[in-house]
Chains A and B, each alone.
Chain A
Amino acid sequence: MTTTQAHARTTAPTALAVHDVTLAYDSATVFEGLSVSVAEGEVTTLVGANGSGKSTLLRAFGRLLTPRAGSVSLRGRPLRELRTREVARQLAILPQKPVTPAATTVRDLVSRGRHPHQSLLRPWSAADAEAVDAALAATRLTDIADRDAAALSGGQLQRAWIALVLAQQAPVVLLDEPTTFLDLAHQVDLLRLVRAVNAERGTTVVMVLHDLTLAARYSDRLVVLGEGRVVADGRPWDVLTPETLRSAFGLDALVVPDPASGTPLVVPLDAEHPAPSR
């Protein structure tokens, strides 16, 4: 099973890739000589401990962080040769900490997602309104579309940001921790939405998640980051092994099949809760 899937992955065209990049901030280098590529039409999830560089890699993919060395390519073209606007039509990114504007309704916030499709000569069109309405409906925000975004609950606001990204209608979507602030039901809801968008529009999704079990259930592929490198990369069952979890998270865990989906379910262990003896 794994070999055929692995084969299918290598033949799918590459949507997004970093080649041999060095990603650094003024104070620290996070990655050196890192190469990761993302296949078109797949849902890829970056996992790893806090500070392992998930957001950093996602920002490099989204051109928010320029690599010190190496290159990033978007659908086969070097990212740095593309105009910002062109990138925005191809790729939508939800950063970890967006700024919510004052006195702006949910609908207005979501409407900003249409910016890359508009210009002075082509202001606001029926297609824009349609995309915004669809995004509001998909995130179940239609009923509160006219509320002030600053007055939403954390989870509602998070969904509004997701709606903005959906309204952008880019073929590649990057989401940094889209499920933070959401209750479990809404997390599942959101991840199902991600899968639906992926299935219907063939959207390539790269996201960061912390819940490994949900990540395994809703992703085609997991990339585990740690210590400045890719610790493991592949199908959920190949990646989520007790060894990987120990080296990437320092976590002792049992990995069993999720009774509902058959995907890996991670059960953390500690001294008081050791692995049951068989």
Chain B
Amino acid sequence: MSAPSAVAARPWRRVPGRPPRRRVVFVTVGCLLAALAVGVVGLAAGSSSLTAGDAVRTLLGGGSPGEHLIVVGLRLPRVLGALLVGTALGLAGALTQTFARNPLATPDIIGVTSGASLGAVMAIVLAGGTYQVAAGTLSLGMPAAAAVGALLTALVVYGLAWRGGIDSFRIILIGIGATATLSGVTSYLVARAQITEAANAAQWLVGSLSGMSWSSVRPLLVVVLLVTPVALAQSRDLEVSQLGDDVTSGLGVAVQRHRLLVLGCAVLLTAAAVSASGPVEFVAFLAPQVAQRLAATARPPLLASAFVGALVVAGADAASRTVLPGQLPVGIVTAVVGAPYLIWLLTRLKERETVS
């Protein structure tokens, strides 16, 4: 509010006039292509190195049986998992940031991610015991537990923040409180757990793609394919909902239903991503903000945010397997990139954008 002229002067602000919004389309397609390209690099990269050409040829049915085993059997689920986790988190972040009209309102910050984490860690730790039971829990129970954890947390935070309407500042503060509480419980569970389960949980909690297999990619793929169209269908109403509940409703949007759909989509996407890979930090925050700046729009463009998310996670994974030392888990790489960006954004945010 204090420096309106600075806003007008920023070159990435959108050019005047309504559609066609070529730039959004351009950015969306560009990010998709970039994410796919990084995916191919990820298929080629690793201890037995192949060229990108080899990887593509193998994907299309060529290549030796050995190459086929490495590319399709081992690396494809991981790369696909990375792309899908990024897509889900990027889209979920775009939805919550738009919904709350605040870039800080990401699933990480409003408690959804930590709810999913707690659910998943409970499944790992409490269901321990025999190996068979644990394995069964991991493939079936863990995604469900993560989803339930995310859903319950979202409901509680939403309920506590509700005062005849949703105030984004309240939802963020309550979310931070919920995150702290839930992380505390999660740490306690890990500390009390058997050594193997604790190790499992700890590795999972930093956000890692190393355990990615077809059985964890499949449910994620289903959720992303089902939820994305529902979320995109809310796009026009999301634009209007930036004007406050009264105006939104006056313009013909059933506000409660819209809000439930948007939040429901975000929670499902987050739960699916977190149960597949663990919480990959900062992607849900970073991707929508980057997409918004690239597309020069007033709010994060949904699909472009999803694809930037895919690009970030797949890129972080590929980097950790090639140039970075010690096979860092992907969640650490994204945190190292994302945290400084968050701090930078906080210093740049106008007062109005943080507190209202």
Contact = CB atoms under 8 A, between A and B. Distances in A.
Interface of A: 26, 59, 62-64, 84-89, 91-95, 97-105, 107-109, 111-113, 115-116, 118, 120, 123-124, 128-129, 132, 145-148, 150-151, 164, 168
Interface stretch (B11-19, B40-48, B304-312): B11-19
B96 to A, nearest CB: 16
Nearest to B247: A98
Interface string B236-266: 1001101110110111111000000000000
A102 B243 CA distance: 10
Interface of B: 1, 4-5, 7-8, 13-14, 16-19, 101, 164, 233, 236, 239-240, 242-244, 246-247, 249-254, 298-299, 352-353
A112 B7 CA distance: 21
Contact of B254 (A84, A146, A148, A150): A84
A276 B171 CA distance: 59
A107 B249 contact: no
B250 A64 contact: yes
A190 to B, nearest CB: 19
A123 B19 contact: yes
Nearest to A64: B246
Given A93-B250, A148-B7, A104 B19 contact: no
Contacts of B18: 107-108, 111, 124, 128-129, 132
A96 to B, nearest CB: 9
A32 B17 CA distance: 47
Given A84-B253, A107-B16, A108-B18, A120 B243 contact: no
Contact of B246 (A93, A128, A148): A93
Contact of B250 (A86, A92, A102, A109): A92
21 contacts: A84-B249, A85-B252, A85-B253, A88-B252, A93-B247, A94-B247, A94-B250, A95-B247, A97-B246, A98-B243, A102-B101, A103-B14, A107-B16, A112-B239, A115-B236, A115-B252, A124-B19, A128-B18, A148-B8, A150-B352, A151-B8
Nearest to A117: B252
Contacts of A108: 18, 298
